[in-house]
Structure 1
Amino acid sequence: MQLTRRTILRTALAAGVSGLLPARSFAASQLALGTATLDTLSDGHLVLPIGFISDNPGAPELLARHGLSGPEIESPCNVTLYRDGINTVLFDVGSGPDFMPTAGKLAEAFDALGVTADEVTHVVFTHAHPDHLWGVLDDFDEPIFANATHLMGRAEYDYWADPNTVSTISGGRETFAAGAIRRLQALEDRIVTFEDGDEIIPGIGARASYGHTPGHMSFEVRQGNTSAMIVGDAIANAHMAFEAPSWASGSDQDAEMGAKTRLDLLGMLADGTMPMVGFHLPEGGVGRVERAGDAFRFIPEA
């Protein structure tokens, strides 16, 4: 299924009118990492056509086991804030007001946590899809996080900053490309790029997790002998991505690479017992991965 802004807006508005969208708490979850804290904040949620999850013939049965059989599916959006007493690091910035009416709630989440945009020292992007990038500018196209260094993986930046991407991108994502280049141009003088394996901030290392987008990055955040992996959309839901990680996902621009990335990440997280944070995972997105036979399961952090 192609994901177009028109399709998801129509789906979201219909669900909103029918009262299917419950109110959500802005403060989602917290994880202690040594003397640092890692909070997830709700930017609201997306409403997507259920067929977008996968076109695999087994998908309807798998989703039905999770109570998902209607035409739409809600996908929570968990923005991550890391604070170590020196750095205040925001991983992704949410949708802002221009993508979907059910998302773009990060300002309210900041208020609930008692944090201001001016306190953010670094903004780190996993990738440049609308629900991760479009909330970076205010109504005057000025950066909201005015005191922050903005960081994005080199491959991801080069792809979305290329004017040709809007005419070559597939899957109905032309609006994604147009929105990304406008925002990256506005950030041009303050954005810093990095490579796979770089320590981008003391204690925060970049890990390539390509497939969802051409340069998608995950991040290992380490404090003392504790760590967590921020996976962005490399693991994009708590059902199919865990139970059938090798199936193609409609959200991945490169489905084959996305599946390989999921399998590698899930295996590493399960075997190393490292907690993870997923942007679209339930209950704040913080939890652990366990093996379940030939598959996996997500265990939310208590």
Structure 2
Amino acid sequence: MQLSRRHFLATSAAALALPYSRVWAATTLTMGSVRIDSLSDGHLELPLDFTFAGLPEAEVSALLDRHGLAAGGLTPPCNLTLLRDGTNTVLFDLGSGPDFMPTAGKVIEALAALDLTPEDVTHVLITHGHPDHLWGLLDEFDEPVFAEADYMIGQVEFDYWMDPATVDSIGEDRASFAIGASRRLEVITDSVRKLADGEEALPGITARLTPGHTPGHMAYEIVSPDGALMVVGDAIGNHHIAFDQPDWPSPSDQDPATAAITRTALLERLATSGVPLLGFHLPHGGLGRVEKTDTGYRFTEEI
């Protein structure tokens, strides 16, 4: 079956059937001539406080039990999105590279599983500048990994990480994020295209400002004659508390209040439209849909 024609802002709640197959490190979705693969960059290992610090302990404990999460820490997957339309080969985000966590930085292996190399990538669209999304820009020799690609990032996001004041304002725990981001963006500063909210990055791909996780975080709306998909990055950062309690502030977000507003609005739009999403830290490749529940939302994988 093919995706029916649908836009991100559509209001019909009818479900869409997605044809897909799963191979190592990839989940594949086809929309006519457009093929989208979810590529595994590995996973992160995070303490519970990264997501749950300051939240009600009893409710957090119940949420961990409900979702089968380990009390000792979180191991979120890292799903990069690859789009091929017969002309362009577009990678959304770059992964962690060699300098962040040893459990991540595996995107080149995932590409190889699809018989692709970094040189095949024509465009890179960046959601935001955190290490697991940007640090894969450079290899262990500080050379660009995707040397043939054209790069794009939100204007607000680029300006934030390139501002020398960010390292002092972001907080001590994340100062290395600012240093690492500016070092990598400096490599492409003369060529990177800076996107505005609502700007078409490539035919059929529109940048959508989704701030809060970072100041200029971008999601990307993909629309073809045969369907639609939203690449949400970290605007919806997990499959548990982000869906169960989207209005709760999360310490993983740089501006928790703004992120909660963004997240709630995005979940509502996706639930109402029936348009699928691909989330960077959502399970089993990150491809699924948002369903409303009596108290919040639920992530439903496409299986």
Same fold (TM over 0.5): yes
Q: In the alignment, what sits opposite 1:112?
A: 113
Contact 1:33 1:222 in 2 (8 A): no
Judged with a 3 Å threshold, the aligned counterparts in structure 2 of structure 1 residues 112 and 225 are, in CA distance, closer, same or farther, namely: closer
Contact 2:160 2:215 in 1 (8 A): yes
* Alignment TM-score, normalising by the size of structure 2: 0.89
3-state SS in 2 of match to 1:60: helix
Q: In the alignment, what sits opposite 2:55?
A: 56
Letter in 2 for 1:295: G
Q: Deviations over 1:29-87 (max 9, x none)?
A: 11112211110010000000012212310222212221224221101000110000011
Letter in 2 for 1:148: A
Q: In the alignment, what sits opposite 2:162?
A: 161
Letter in 2 for 1:90: L
1: distance between equivalents of 2:243 and 2:139?
A: 36
2: distance between equivalents of 1:139 and 1:99?
A: 11
Contact 1:210 1:217 in 2 (8 A): yes
CA apart distance, 1:225? 3.9
Q: In the alignment, what sits opposite 2:32?
A: 34
Letter in 1 for 2:33: T
Contact 2:28 2:35 in 1 (8 A): yes
Give the number of aligned pairs: 278
CA apart distance, 1:171? 6.0
The sequence identity of aligned pairs, in percent, is 53
3-state SS in 2 of match to 1:265: helix
3-state SS in 1 of match to 2:262: helix
Q: In the alignment, what sits opposite 1:191?
A: 192
3-state SS in 2 of match to 1:228: strand
Judged with a 3 Å threshold, the aligned counterparts in structure 2 of structure 1 residues 177 and 238 are, in CA distance, closer, same or farther, namely: same
2: distance between equivalents of 1:33 and 1:171?
A: 44
Q: In the alignment, what sits opposite 2:43?
A: 45
Q: In the alignment, what sits opposite 1:3?
A: none
Q: In the alignment, what sits opposite 1:13?
A: none
Contact 1:60 1:69 in 2 (8 A): no
3-state SS in 2 of match to 1:41: strand
Give 1:60-99 correspondences, 5 Å limit. 60-99=61-100
Contact 1:93 1:134 in 2 (8 A): yes
1:206 aligns to 2:207 (yes or no) = yes
2: distance between equivalents of 1:116 and 1:48?
A: 30
Give 1:132-147 correspondences, 5 Å limit. 132-147=133-148
| Higher relative contact order, structure no. (Cα contacts within 8 Å, ≥ 6 residues apart) | 2
* Alignment TM-score, normalising by the size of structure 1: 0.90
Q: In the alignment, what sits opposite 1:237?
A: 238
Q: In the alignment, what sits opposite 1:121?
A: 122
Q: Deviations over 1:227-281 (max 9, x none)?
A: 1000000001101100110111111000000001110000000000001000000
2: distance between equivalents of 1:144 and 1:189?
A: 17
